[in-house]
Structure 1
Amino acid sequence: MDINTALKEIMAIDGALGAALVDFETGMCLGSAGGGDGLDIELAAAGSTEVVRAKVQTLAALEMDDEVEDMLISLTRQYHVIRRASHASTSVFLYLVLDRERANLALARHHLRRIEGELVI
């Protein structure tokens, strides 16, 4: 699945407000969808690169033989889900913003995992 198809499928998840594919080493957004109405999806996704970098660096400092799979940031009105691409590039992640009132977090994470598994960069 290419980047545009992946982003379209992510945006079809119930409650999706925005989605992006980001390289956390450079902070560059490789593609995005959604956003608007106070949500600059590219800015939010790029800002999350610091979160991913910090966790990856912490795991390295702890010499843990483990990888970041996904992360959840809970806001009062939104969920922000970060899903690292496991097969494409070690520095790429999917970023999804969900409306807390409309989203089912468990189903959204399941769909995001499936989409990440089919993503070809």
Structure 2
Amino acid sequence: MTDMDTALKEIMDIDGAVGVALVDHTSGMALGTAGGGKDLDLTVAAAGNTDVIRAKLRAMEMLNITEKIEDILITLDTQYHLIRPLASRSGKGLFLYVALRRDRSNLAMARHQLKRIENDLDV
């Protein structure tokens, strides 16, 4: 099992990673962050993406969709933003938010690596 700080560092090793946050979607607070900077305030991103998760969960409930969200992808001109709710029992109510540079990342590989890191994460 991997602790939170190690997992965040591993995510930052994904090609093109700009920043990552582990977020509690109940409060919108980031439990841990890595990367980011003046162009990417991860605490603001954590709070904002909490609204994305909540809205999607509400929409799924209204549509009677009982499947679980694997991830949510937001594609920008120069970046990919991935929101991945944690599937483990210990991670319930948490999600990973990752920003990737489009010109340096392979989206399929990044999703694969993120899933592997999530599976090893012990929160």
Aligned to 1:66: 67
Gaps of 5+ in 1: none
SS of corresponding position for 2:21? strand
Question: How far off is 1:95 after superposition?
Answer: 0.7
Question: How far off is 1:115 after superposition?
Answer: 0.6
Q: Percent identity?
A: 53
Question: How far off is 1:89 after superposition?
Answer: 3.0
The whole-number CA distance in structure 2 between the counterparts of 1:59 and 1:95 is: 20
The whole-number CA distance in structure 2 between the counterparts of 1:36 and 1:26 is: 22
The Cα offsets for residues 69-111 of structure 1, whole Å up to 9 and x where unpaired, read as 1010000011000111001233100110001110111100000
Question: How far off is 1:65 after superposition?
Answer: 1.8
SS of corresponding position for 2:91? coil
Aligned to 1:107: 109
5 Å-filtered alignment, 1:1-121, equals 1-87=2-88, 88-121=90-123
The whole-number CA distance in structure 1 between the counterparts of 2:79 and 2:66 is: 31
The Cα offsets for residues 44-86 of structure 1, whole Å up to 9 and x where unpaired, read as 1221000001111111122222111101000001100011100
Gaps of 5+ in 2: none
* Residue type at the aligned position of 2:79: Q
Deviation beyond 4 Å, 4+ runs, structure 1: none
The whole-number CA distance in structure 2 between the counterparts of 1:24 and 1:15 is: 25
* Residue type at the aligned position of 2:36: G
Provide the TM-score with structure 2 as the length reference: 0.94
Higher alpha-carbon deviation: 34-43 or 102-111: 34-43
The whole-number CA distance in structure 2 between the counterparts of 1:48 and 1:2 is: 23
The whole-number CA distance in structure 1 between the counterparts of 2:30 and 2:110 is: 21
Provide the TM-score with structure 1 as the length reference: 0.96
